[in-house]
């Protein structure tokens, strides 16, 4: 995409809503099975073209081609960005697998044995949001747990009624190089930051005597929960669009029994803007994003959860492009006008990114 191209910048005027702005067909909506996530289907879906295709298989051959943004240095950056996410097994865990520090018992106090009395859930929500900001969350919202957004295999006890949804901003210059490898580094850093933020906020809740189930992409669907928590609206590209960063965020959440006050959903015209914009669909090299004028209930592939009125993204085509590209892609994030409202520039070449 040419960054000098004339772009229609959306006007952002946020309104609180009494209910989430999505439209559902309850007769079609069921709890989605995690086995149908595209990355799971790679391992079992023998009838799909992407069966057993790993998107990093061709990395060495891609490096040999010498294309800008696909060098050994670029891939070294991308793979290193996942270090904390991959190494910190306690970051995405419903139980504390390993202590993050010396046991509280060594100082004579086990904070988890007694509950802090929460007399004002709204005040506690403010404490949680401030803690999340301190630990690295760019945005935080709270909602009641709609159990339809739990994966079919997730066995979450009924006492977990609240969800803390956090968004972590991804590096704008990195994303602006997509589909080159520095964009994948911005994504990986987002996931590594999520591990740190989740583990710290989860431990904060446990230190108050309550329970926390820390989730990345697992356990429940992040986007509808983020909509319920007032962080944004759903875009044509299938991603959460936030007023602050557009889709340039990673989402994570904590399910908890801590008494909290939920936020209201918000509306700022995303669906209306997406109907006319279509840049994400135009520049998607996988042709995975719908160009239809109107959203519908028609799913694009097995990895879609039916029952919502939206533009369904063909995750199969998206993944196959990742295999061709040698690494993940964020072009639909890069070109979204909501992303560039504050960053200004939609394109950054890998050379500009490295400034060499």
As a whole number, the mean pLDDT across the chain is 92
What is the predicted pLDDT for the residue at 5? 44
What is the rounded CA–CA span in Å between residue 118 and residue 112?
Answer: 15
Q: How confident is the model at residue 32 (pLDDT cuts 50, 70, 90)?
A: very high
Most confident of 34-48, 87-101, 333-347: 34-48
Phi, psi of 212 (to 5 degrees): -140, 130
Whether 6 maps to a domain, the answer reads: no
Residue 1: inside a domain: no
Percent of the chain, pLDDT > 70? 92
| Burial zone of 118 (CB within 10 Å; 0-12 exposed, 13-18 middle, 19+ buried) | middle
Quick check: 310 and 273 in contact, CB under 8 A? Answer: no
* DSSP state for residue 171 in the 8-state scheme: P
**Cα-to-chain-centroid distance, residue 66:** 31
Determine, yes or no, domain membership for 234: yes
Q: What is the pLDDT of residues 74-92, one digit of tens each?
A: 999 999 999 999 988 778 8
- 67 has pLDDT over 50: yes
Mean pLDDT of 86-103: 64
**Predicted pLDDT at 105:** 54
- How confident is the model at residue 97, as a pLDDT? 45
CB 343 within 8 A of CB 176: yes
User: What whole-number distance in Å separates Cα of residue 202 and Cα of residue 267?
Assistant: 29
Residue 261 domain-assigned (yes or no): yes
Question: Could you tell me if residue 5 is inside a domain?
Answer: no
pLDDT tens digits, 260-297: 999 999 999 999 999 999 999 999 999 999 999 999 99
Is residue 251 included in any domain, yes or no?
yes
Q: What is the mean pLDDT of residues 39-66?
A: 95
pLDDT at 144: 98
Give tens-digit pLDDT for 317-349: 999 999 999 999 999 999 999 997 766 566 788
pLDDT score for 25: 95
The pLDDT confidence band at residue 7, using thresholds 50, 70 and 90, is: low
Q: Which of 92-96, 112-116, 261-265 has the lowest mean pLDDT?
A: 92-96
The residue segments making up the domain with residue 290 are 15-99+111-354
In a domain, 10, yes or no: no
Domain count, the chain: 1
CA distance 99 to 65: 46
> Across-strand partners of 144?
162
Is the residue at 312 inside a domain? yes
152 has a pLDDT exceeding 50: yes
């Amino acid at each position: 995409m040419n960054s000098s191209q004339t772009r229609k910048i959306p006007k952002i005027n946020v309104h609180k809503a009494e209910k989430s702005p999505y439209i559902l067909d309850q007769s079609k909506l069921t709890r989605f099975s995690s086995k149908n996530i595209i990355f799971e289907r790679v391992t079992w879906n023998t009838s799909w073209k992407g069966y057993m295709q790993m998107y990093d298989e061709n990395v060495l051959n891609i490096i040999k081609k010498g294309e800008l943004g696909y060098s050994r240095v670029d891939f070294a950056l991308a793979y290193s960005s996942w270090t904390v996410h991959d190494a910190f097994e306690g970051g995405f865990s419903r139980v504390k697998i390993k202590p993050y520090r010396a046991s509280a018992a060594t100082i004579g106090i086990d904070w988890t044995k007694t509950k802090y009395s929460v007399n004002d859930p709204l005040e506690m929500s403010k404490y949680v949001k401030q803690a999340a900001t301190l630990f690295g969350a760019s945005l935080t919202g709270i909602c009641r747990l709609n159990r339809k957004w739990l994966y079919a295999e997730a066995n979450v006890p009924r006492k977990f009624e609240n969800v803390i949804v956090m968004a972590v901003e991804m590096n704008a210059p990195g994303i602006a190089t997509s589909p080159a490898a520095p964009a994948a580094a911005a994504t990986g850093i987002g996931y590594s930051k999520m591990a740190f933020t989740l583990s710290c906020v989860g431990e904060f809740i446990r230190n108050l005597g309550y329970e926390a189930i820390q989730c990345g992409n697992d356990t429940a669907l992040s986007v509808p929960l983020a909509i319920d928590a007032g962080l944004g609206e759903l875009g044509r590209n299938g991603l959460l669009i936030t007023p602050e960063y557009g889709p340039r965020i990673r989402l994570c959440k904590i399910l908890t029994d801590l008494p909290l006050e939920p936020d209201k959903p918000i509306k700022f015209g995303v669906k209306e803007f997406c109907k006319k914009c279509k840049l994400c669909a135009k520049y998607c090299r996988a042709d995975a994003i719908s160009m239809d004028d109107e959203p519908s209930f028609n799913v694009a592939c097995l990895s879609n959860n039916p029952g919502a009125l939206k533009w369904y993204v063909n995750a199969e085509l998206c993944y196959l492009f990742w295999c061709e590209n040698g690494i993940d892609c964020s072009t639909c994030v890069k070109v979204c006008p909501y992303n560039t409202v504050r960053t200004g520039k939609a394109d950054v070449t890998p050379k500009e990114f490295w400034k060499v």
